[in-house]
Amino acid sequence: MSVAADASGTARLLNWRIETDRADGRIAVIMEVHDDHTNRHGNMHGGLIATVLDTAMGATASFLKGDGGRIPFSTISMTVNFIAPMPLGIITATGRIMGGGYKTVFVEGEAHDQNNTLIAQATGTFKRAPIP
């Protein structure tokens, strides 16, 4: 996978990509899980799963409520439920707007492995960044 030159430091470090033009209308963060991303059990570290979900949900808020991604949203709170271990392979996290208004948006997220196994679910509250 290749990351855009203007990607964030975290995106460059973890080498994920964000898809905004999916057929299902969802924003997705897609990442290849390598040995460097694993815990002592050989599965993707839960903190990294949470990071991918946070990015997918924040990007969903930004692209769907923030002028096509031009206005960032920051995480106010987030809860993650881990369902299954994420082995080496491809993780895809997506977000879906559940409600909110102009400044605050409620988003749910799901992360699946390459076999479409549900890895984790999350909910989050995101706040629109002030316009400079």
Burial of 81 (0-12, 13-18, 19+ CB in 10 A): exposed
Rounded Cα–Cα distance for residues 84 and 5 (Å): 33
Neighbours of 4 (CB within 10 A): 10
Instruction: Provide the residue count of the chain.
Output: 132
State the pTM of this model: 0.91
pLDDT tens track, the chain, 132 positions: 444 545 688 888 898 999 988 888 789 999 999 999 999 999 999 999 999 999 999 999 999 998 888 889 999 999 999 999 999 999 999 999 999 999 999 999 999 999 999 999 999 999 999 876
CATH topology of domain 9-128: Thiol Ester Dehydrase; Chain A (3.10.129)
Domain ranges of the chain: 9-128
Q: Is the CA virtual torsion 29, 32, 35, 41 positive or negative?
A: positive
